[in-house]
Amino acid sequence: MATVTPELSKNLINGKWVESTGRQTMPSMNPATGEVLGHVPKSESADVVAAIEAAKAAFEKWRKYPAPRRAEILFHAAELLVEEKENLARLMTQEMGKVLAETRGDVQEAIDMTYFIAGEGRRLRGYTTPSEMPNKAAYCIRVPVGVVGVITPWNFPMAIPSWKIIPALICGNTVVFKPATYTPLVGLRFAQILQEAGLPPGVLNVVTGSGGAVGDALVEHRDVAIISFTGSTETGLGIAQKCGRAGKRVSLEMGGKNAAIVMEDADLDLATDALIWSAFGTSGQRCTDVGPVVSDTQLERVHGYVEVGQKEGARLLVGGRRTAQGTLARGSFYTPTFFDNVQPSMRIAQEEIFGPVTSIIEGKSFEDAVAILNSVEYGLSASIFTRDVNKAMRAVDDLFTGIVYINHGTIGAEVHLPFGGTKNTGNGHREGGLQVLDVFSEWKSVYIDYSGHLQRAQIDKD
């Protein structure tokens, strides 16, 4: 069992590990066994305010650290993450149930992101451009936004926080991070490693607790300049409304319904392997080795969808029940589930189930399959299996998702490419790639007039 040190039962505020002001705690549970791994603060708005004040004060210094110096700290963090990879993966498996092969991948994603973005510390490029006027220079630079509120889900408890926190830091922002309620220990340990790498106090703060108390206080606070959120569409759109009213920036990664088209000329062995991995990796919450879903609440939600599918007339081919064999009965295990005879309009075909349940829908043609896939309200990723290069390239053009895979399952994004979705999956921002820098920086244009006199043409034009 991974060691949970005493610090990980506290919030991280201004470089110190502190209890919540109300002294309330909440347990972190192992969904495979039901055992309690530790207790973390059940924080309230006063804790969030303290973290925001620390971040606001730290911003004045951190934004002036030369970006290559910020990068050195992040490179060091990446090295520490490499050293700690196995322990982090084991802690993650215990806290949210993904099998070890997958949690190692999750940690590796955070390592990759940290190395990749640290490299940007020596670039963070703006550009120079000719001015309209003689004896005048013009250029633009990136500047940080301010205090960033980071709110994340439990299915990728290190990768997703890293996609937000690391780019926010390299741009010179400071951060208040609220990890998911089911995965606070991984979030705290990640922050602890960043702290050990040399982040000054207050640059990264962590407040654990519920979405309603901690998340909302973060969203509502006027000193938080931007919210970077990943989670369900329902929560994300609620946050977007609040940010909209306050004129606050918001970057959203929300729900998904990733589908694959298998054409009649596909390599079926390849497609089968890839799609089993896509459907049942992270227990369908994103293998054939399937861990538990994250909680009994989530398991009941998944089972509710299975009942809906049966009522709608889909045929249950396999699964559709809690796994109750031996020691598995103690945890939140759900049997991998397949439906066929699924119509595109059924709820199991349209809505996000977020569990190990997959549907087979027959399309009449390539065009029909594309139309079915595009009919869902989400747009994160999609894939097509075919040996026909023309169909593959047409799928790239016609699938309205942020990511398209050819002859590959719907998972496997790499940190140096933009990541994000269309429609109700996102709001136009991207994580990963260099595009993520646009989320966490403002552009500032600079004009330098060295003519020594007032250049009137510019004034006339204005």
Catalytic site positions: 253, 287
Q: Which tokens in the block code for residue 447?
A: 């004009």
Q: How far is the CB of 459 from ligand NAD (least distance, A)?
A: 47
**Inter-residue contact 11 to 207 (CB < 8 Å):** yes
Q: Quick one: 80 or 237, whose CB is closer to ligand NAD?
A: 237
d(CA 87, CA 188): 14
Query: From residue 11, how far is each of 43, 208, 211 by CA, in Å?
Result: 8, 7, 15
d(CA 228, CA 168): 10
DSSP label at 201? T
Q: How far is the CB of 268 from ligand NAD (least distance, A)?
A: 28
**Inter-residue contact 323 to 303 (CB < 8 Å):** no
Backbone φ and ψ for 129, nearest 5 degrees, come out as: -150, 150
Binding-residue pattern over the window 330 to 369 for ligand NAD, x denoting contact by CB under 6 A: ----------------------x-x---------------
β-strand 204-206 against 174-178: which pairing, if any?
parallel
Neighbours of 23 (CB within 10 A): 8
- Specify the residue for token string 């190990």: 356
Q: Which stretch binds ligand NAD (CB under 6 A): 30-38, 164-172, 215-223, 302-310?
A: 215-223
Q: How far is the CB of 155 from ligand NAD (least distance, A)?
A: 5
- Specify the residue for token string 């973005």: 117
Q: Quick one: 386 or 425, whose CB is closer to ligand NAD?
A: 425
Among 74, 146, 216, 259, binds ligand NAD (CB under 6 A): 216
| Chain residues 393-432 in contact with ligand NAD, contact rule CB under 6 A | 421, 425
- Residues binding ligand NAD: what is the number (CB under 6 A)? 30
| Chain residues 95-154 in contact with ligand NAD, contact rule CB under 6 A | 151-154
Q: How far is the CB of 255 from ligand NAD (least distance, A)?
A: 4
Q: Quick one: 121 or 355, whose CB is closer to ligand NAD?
A: 355
Spatial CA neighbour of 360 closest among 340, 336, 387: 340
Q: How far is the CB of 390 from ligand NAD (least distance, A)?
A: 30
Q: How far is the CB of 230 from ligand NAD (least distance, A)?
A: 5
Beta bridge partners of 140: 127, 445
Torsion angle (degrees, nearest 10) of CA 332, 338, 344, 350: 10
How far the first Cα of the chain sits from its last, in Å, is 67
Q: Is residue 433 involved in binding ligand NAD (CB under 6 A)?
A: no
Q: Quick one: 84 or 352, whose CB is closer to ligand NAD?
A: 352
Q: How far is the CB of 438 from ligand NAD (least distance, A)?
A: 17
Q: Quick one: 76 or 248, whose CB is closer to ligand NAD?
A: 248
Q: Quick one: 131 or 295, whose CB is closer to ligand NAD?
A: 295
| Chain residues 171-210 in contact with ligand NAD, contact rule CB under 6 A | 178, 180-181
d(CA 223, CA 9): 26
**Inter-residue contact 128 to 138 (CB < 8 Å):** yes
- Specify the residue for token string 């992040």: 74
Among 161, 211, 281, 309, binds ligand NAD (CB under 6 A): 211
Among 20, 28, 155, 283, binds ligand NAD (CB under 6 A): 155
| Chain residues 224-283 in contact with ligand NAD, contact rule CB under 6 A | 230-232, 235, 238-239, 253-256
Neighbours of 427 (CB within 10 A): 18
Query: From residue 51, how far is each of 144, 177, 344, 375, 417 by CA, in Å?
Result: 18, 9, 46, 42, 32
Q: Quick one: 227 or 263, whose CB is closer to ligand NAD?
A: 227
Q: Which residues bind ligand NAD (CB under 6 A)?
A: 151-156, 160, 178, 180-181, 211-212, 215-216, 219, 230-232, 235, 238-239, 253-256, 352, 354, 380, 421, 425
